[in-house]
Each structure stands twice: as structure tokens, then as C-alpha cells.
């Protein structure tokens, strides 16, 4: 608890990231990631393998953009740094583990950005959503975009804040969560660069005898095309959140999202 408070206080984060709850969420993720390190290891290894496949055949390797880079656990940073001229780690907040990891590579930069474009809406400074990924779409040097297990996380803070605060945003955007998830997927599809998507889609509460007690959709009603790979991410082993059940997330890896979408469209 003390470590969490100190991290919250001493992480260089914007006032916006503190006010919107993103810093608090990031600190709690860091804390959980430390406690569940061994349970998460197989998931992180699967993610690394998908990312390595995503650029194995890429002829040009100038800029790689990692969206939702977080603690940089589920992307192989050393391999990306060696393969690309420049790697941009994009997250609404960068905790010290990410800052230290970035410092080890001369071509890795941190970009602090709310990729949902909701911050101004949440803080009452705008009435609509911004398009924060546009700057990367318009950068002709971007050859690989990785959306790194952030899709299901993106609506959490905005929806919670809008529901708690009421006001105009709640009336104007009753479907805010759906818009954020669908908007992120749409923004990924509009990149001409290779796009690698890592995401979870469902949460399952699983009893000690393997019975599924509850299944929760995590993507606000948005469906994904069939992925290249699917696996279970043991998010909370038995006893981490509740002594009676473990929490698993159904996880998916798309080495090439454009190809997965094209396959689905052809099958219709
Ligand atoms: C499950 S974590 C991803 C883990 C991360 N890829 C790693 O390797 O450690 C989700 C990430 O999404 C980020 N995130 C959530 N909302 C965001 C937003 N609006 N803009 C940018 N990043 C956001 C969080 O800060 C967090 O780092």
C-alpha cells in the first residue's frame, strides 16, 4: 500500500492523468502485475510470440508504435528496439518500470497520450471526442502499430467518470464505452501500416473444480474477427481476488489485423 502511494505521488504524470483516474488505475495494475508475475508469464510469452510474428516479414522497419505500452511486459522491447529505427511507447501514463525500460534503448521514446480522445470531454473542456491516433496515421514512417492489451481497458475510466459525474457527457454519449472500443478498432483499421492487436474479450470466474461461475463480456458489445491465436490469461489465480474462484480472461492475438479483417470479409 505504501509503495502504491509513493508511486502515485512520485510518478511524473500530467494533472489530467491524475484527475481522470488513469494514474490510480496504472498503479493498481503495476501492483497486481507484481503479485501475479508467475501466473501472467505464459500470457506474456504468447503475446511476445505474436508480436515477433507481426514484423518477421515486414520489409521496412522504421517506426513502431506501441499503444497501451503500460509496464512493457507483453511486448518484447529489446527485439523491437533492435528491429526498428524508432519505437514509440504510447500510454496515458508511464510508470517507473516503463521509464527505466525505455532508458535502456537509445531509440525508444515515451509518448504520454490519452488514446481514446476522451480527456477533454471528461474534464468539461470539450463536447466531443478527439482523434489522438491521427498523428501516427499521418506519419509515413510508421511501419508497425501494436495495440498491446489495452482495448478492454480503454472504456473503464471514462465510463466510470461519466456515470459518476452525470452532466452533458452522459446525455450526449450514453454509449460511450461502445464508442471507445469500436472507435479504437476503427482507428487501427485505418492505419496503412501493419497492425498487431493483442486483446482480451471475456472475463471468466472459475471455481477450484473448473466450473465457470460467471462470464463477463469486456468489449462493450463489440465483436472481433477470428484471431490467429486464442488462449486463457490467468489474470487472478485462486485467492488473489476471491478464495472461491480464479479469474481468467480469454485473450487473442492478431499478428496482422488487416489480414484477419479481410479473411472475415471474404467469408461473408
Ligand atoms: C492491461 S494494460 C496493458 C499492459 C501493457 N501492454 C504491458 O505490457 O504492461 C492496459 C494499458 O492501457 C493503458 N490505458 C488505459 N486507458 C488509456 C488511454 N485512454 N490512453 C492510453 N493508454 C491507456 C493503461 O495505462 C495500461 O497501461
Q: Determine the distance separating the centroid of ligand 1 and the alpha carbon of 265, expressed in angstroms.
A: 29
Q: Determine the distance separating the centroid of ligand 1 and the alpha carbon of 266, expressed in angstroms.
A: 32
171/114 Cα distance (integer angstroms): 22
Which of 34-43, 47-56, 124-133, 230-239 is predicted with the least confidence, judged by mean pLDDT?
A: 124-133
Which numbered atom of ligand 1 lies nearest the CA of 22?
A: 25
Q: Determine the distance separating the centroid of ligand 1 and the alpha carbon of 244, expressed in angstroms.
A: 28
pLDDT at 145: 98
Q: Determine the distance separating the centroid of ligand 1 and the alpha carbon of 72, expressed in angstroms.
A: 10
Please provide the distance, in angstroms rounded to a whole number, between the alpha carbons at the two ends of the chain. Answer: 51
**Mean pLDDT, range 222-241, rounded to an integer:** 95
pLDDT band at 6 (very low <50, low <70, confident <90, very high): low
Return the residue matching grid coordinates 513502431.
Answer: 64
In the chain, pLDDT over 70 holds for what percent of residues? 97
pLDDT band at 93 (very low <50, low <70, confident <90, very high): very high
**Residue-wise burial string across 183-221, b where 16 or more C-beta atoms lie within 10 A, e elsewhere:** bbbebbeebebbbbbbbbbbbbbbeeeeeeeeeeebbbe
Ligand 1 pocket: which of 68, 161, 183, 187 to mutate (most atoms <8 Å of CB)?
Answer: 68
DSSP 139-168: -TTEEEEEEES-TTTTTHHHHHHHHHH-HH
72/65 Cα distance (integer angstroms): 12
Predicted confidence (pLDDT) per residue in 238-255, tens digit: 988 899 999 999 999 999
Which protein residue's CA is at the shortest distance from atom 26 of ligand 1? 70
Ligand 1 pocket: which of 34, 91, 251 to mutate (most atoms <8 Å of CB)?
Answer: 91
Q: Determine the distance separating the centroid of ligand 1 and the alpha carbon of 267, expressed in angstroms.
A: 32
Q: Determine the distance separating the centroid of ligand 1 and the alpha carbon of 118, expressed in angstroms.
A: 15
Of residues 225 and 11, the one with the higher pLDDT is 225
pLDDT at 123: 86
Closest CA to 233 of 253, 250, 218: 250
Query: CA 92, 98, 102, 103: dihedral to nearest 10 degrees?
Result: 120
Which of 8-12, 17-21, 188-192 is predicted with the least confidence, judged by mean pLDDT?
A: 8-12
Of residues 215 and 20, the one with the higher pLDDT is 215
Which of 38-47, 123-132, 214-223 is predicted with the least confidence, judged by mean pLDDT?
A: 123-132
Ligand 1 environment, Cβ below 6 A = 22, 26, 29, 68-75, 91-93, 114-116, 148-150, 153-154
pTM above threshold 0.75: yes
Closest CA to 180 of 142, 227, 128, 252: 128
Q: Determine the distance separating the centroid of ligand 1 and the alpha carbon of 119, expressed in angstroms.
A: 15
pLDDT at 26: 87
For the chain, the average pLDDT equals 93
**Mean pLDDT, range 84-111, rounded to an integer:** 96
Which numbered atom of ligand 1 lies nearest the CA of 44?
A: 8
Taking the domains of the chain in order of start, what are their residue ranges?
2-198
Res. 225: pLDDT tops 70? yes
Which protein residue's CA is at the shortest distance from atom 5 of ligand 1? 70
Ligand 1 pocket: which of 66, 92, 220 to mutate (most atoms <8 Å of CB)?
Answer: 92
Which protein residue's CA is at the shortest distance from atom 10 of ligand 1? 150
Amino acid at each position: 500500500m505504501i509503495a502504491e502511494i509513493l508511486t502515485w505521488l512520485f510518478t511524473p504524470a500530467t494533472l489530467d492523468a491524475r484527475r481522470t483516474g488513469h494514474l490510480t488505475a496504472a498503479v493498481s495494475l503495476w501492483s497486481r502485475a507484481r503479485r501475479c508475475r508467475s501466473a501472467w508469464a505464459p500470457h506474456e510469452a504468447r503475446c511476445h510470440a505474436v508480436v515477433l510474428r507481426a514484423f518477421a516479414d515486414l520489409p521496412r522497419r522504421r517506426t513502431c508504435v506501441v499503444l497501451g505500452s503500460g509496464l512493457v511486459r507483453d511486448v518484447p522491447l529489446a527485439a523491437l528496439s533492435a528491429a526498428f529505427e524508432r519505437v514509440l511507447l504510447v500510454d496515458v501514463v508511464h510508470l517507473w518500470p516503463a521509464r527505466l525500460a525505455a532508458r535502456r534503448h537509445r531509440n525508444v521514446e515515451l509518448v504520454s497520450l490519452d488514446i481514446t480522445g476522451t480527456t477533454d470531454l471528461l474534464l468539461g473542456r470539450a463536447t466531443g471526442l478527439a482523434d489522438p491516433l491521427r498523428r501516427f496515421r499521418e506519419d509515413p514512417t510508421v511501419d508497425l502499430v501494436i495495440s498491446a492489451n489495452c482495448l478492454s481497458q480503454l472504456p473503464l475510466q471514462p465510463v466510470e467518470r461519466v456515470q459518476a459525474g452525470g452532466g452533458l457527457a452522459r446525455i450526449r454519449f450514453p454509449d460511450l464505452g461502445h464508442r471507445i472500443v469500436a472507435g479504437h478498432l476503427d482507428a487501427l483499421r485505418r492505419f496503412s501500416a501493419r497492425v498487431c492487436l493483442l486483446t482480451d474479450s471475456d472475463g471468466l470466474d472459475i471455481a477450484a473444480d473448473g466450473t465457470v461461475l460467471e462470464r463477463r463480456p469486456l468489449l462493450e458489445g463489440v465483436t472481433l474477427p477470428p484471431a490467429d491465436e486464442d488462449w486463457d490469461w490467468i489474470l487472478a489465480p485462486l485467492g488473489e481476488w476471491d478464495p472461491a474462484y480464479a479469474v481468467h480472461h480469454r485473450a487473442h492475438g492478431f499478428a496482422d489485423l488487416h489480414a484477419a479483417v479481410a479473411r472475415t470479409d471474404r467469408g461473408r
